[in-house]
Amino acid sequence: MADDGRKCALGYDFKLIKQGAEAKVYKGNYLGRPTIVKERFKKSYRLLDLDNHITKERIKSEARAVLRCKIAGIHTPALYLVDFERRCIYMEDVQNSTTIKDYITQISEEAENEAGTAGSLLMKLYPIAQEIGKVLGKLHANNIIHGDLTSSNMLLVKDEKDTLTIVLIDFGLSHVESSMEDKAVDLYVLQRALMSTHANVDRLFATILDAYMKENKKESHEVLKKFNEVWARGRKRTMVG
């Protein structure tokens, strides 16, 4: 992030805060509101035409999914502006938020320092896992496939009363689809993302899945069946050196 502090394309008001999986994320003020600008900057490793095409698709998907979520009552940052020319999306800066990934890491470290047991760690994460499951259940019940479900793409907001809210972000790979296959793959992506970053995820993921089933009741049986299939397929994939 060499250009931190440098005047970015967006002006001095915006400060680069993160480089995510595909975008640079700036924080600042737009029309008096705390704003995040997500710039899908040009990837010079890709041919220009290809990159332009992909970026346009991603921005479109993201904007579409956010609107769809809004209608479905799923928390996402409000959209302020889409600027295809500059490859930017302006959206609400979710105040007092941390990514689920950072939160789990922080809680795990605390538990370690307090010599807490894995059990007490799980106790702390349990309500969050439940909340995540609930949100994902709702997402899928509305046929929204996220496409990149990782713990970096979920924000946790805690208000004064300690109420937990999960806010979903990063919808660039999302699409609308009612198939069980796509829903199962979405969950499979999440499981692997958790596995490669967090300890004790088996229980965590089980809790998420449980809450998901309760929320997406109508499809729960079929999605679970498909999930097991997708999982087994992953295991079985022939791997010739």
Partner 1 sequence: MVIAIGFEGSANKLGIGIVHNGVVLSNCRRTYITPPGEGFLPRETAQHHRSLVLAVLSQALREAAVTPEQIDVVCYTKGPGMAPSLQTVAIVARTIAQLWNKPIIGVNHCIGHIEMGRMITGSDNPIVLYVSGGNTQVIAYSRNRYRVFGETIDIAIGNCLDRFARVLKLSNDPSPGYNIEQLAKKGKKFLSLPYVVKGMDVSFSGILSYIEKQSYQLLKSGEYAPEDLCFSLQEVLFAMLVETTERAMAHCGSQEVLIVGGVGCNLRLQEMMETMCHERGAKLFATDERFCIDNGVMIAQAGFEMFRTGNLTKWDETTVTQRYRTDAVEVTWR
Ligand X SMILES: Nc1ncnc2c1ncn2[C@@H]1O[C@H](COP(=O)(O)OP(=O)(O)O)[C@@H](O)[C@H]1O
Catalytic (active-site) positions: 148
Q: Which does 196 bind (CB under 5 to 8 A by kind): ligand X, partner 1, Mg ion, none?
A: partner 1
88 is a site residue for ligand X (CB under 6 A)? no
198 is a site residue for ligand X (CB under 6 A)? no
Identify which of residues 52 and 61 has a Cβ nearer to ligand X in the complex.
Answer: 61
Cβ 20 to ligand X, closest distance in Å?
2
Catalog residues that contact Mg ion under the rule CB under 5 A.
20-21, 152-153, 170
**Nearest residue to Mg ion, by Cβ distance, number only:** 170
The whole-angstrom separation of Cα 52 and Cα 10 is: 19
Question: Computed over its alpha carbons, how large is the radius of gyration of the chain?
Answer: 19
Residues 152-181 that bind partner 1 (CB under 8 A): 152, 173
Cβ 189 to partner 1, closest distance in Å?
4
The whole-angstrom separation of Cα 143 and Cα 139 is: 7
207 is a site residue for ligand X (CB under 6 A)? no
The whole-angstrom separation of Cα 146 and Cα 91 is: 18
The whole-angstrom separation of Cα 82 and Cα 90 is: 6
69 is a site residue for partner 1 (CB under 8 A)? no
137 sits in the region (left: phi over 0; alpha: psi -120 to 50; else beta) called alpha
Q: Which does 192 bind (CB under 5 to 8 A by kind): Mg ion, partner 1, ligand X, none?
A: partner 1
153 is a site residue for ligand X (CB under 6 A)? yes
Q: Residue 200 class from Cβ within 10 Å (0-12 exposed, 13-18 middle, 19+ buried)?
A: middle
Identify which of residues 218 and 235 has a Cβ nearer to partner 1 in the complex.
Answer: 235
Residues 35-54 that bind ligand X (CB under 6 A): 36, 38
The 8-class DSSP code of residue 41 comes to -
Residues in the chain: 241
C-beta atoms surrounding 127 within 10 Å: 12
Residue in 198, 209, 189, 194 with CA at minimum distance from that of residue 148 = 189
Given the rule CB under 8 A, which residues bind partner 1?
1-2, 19-22, 41, 43-47, 49-50, 53-54, 101, 147-152, 173, 185-186, 189, 192-193, 195-197, 199, 234-241
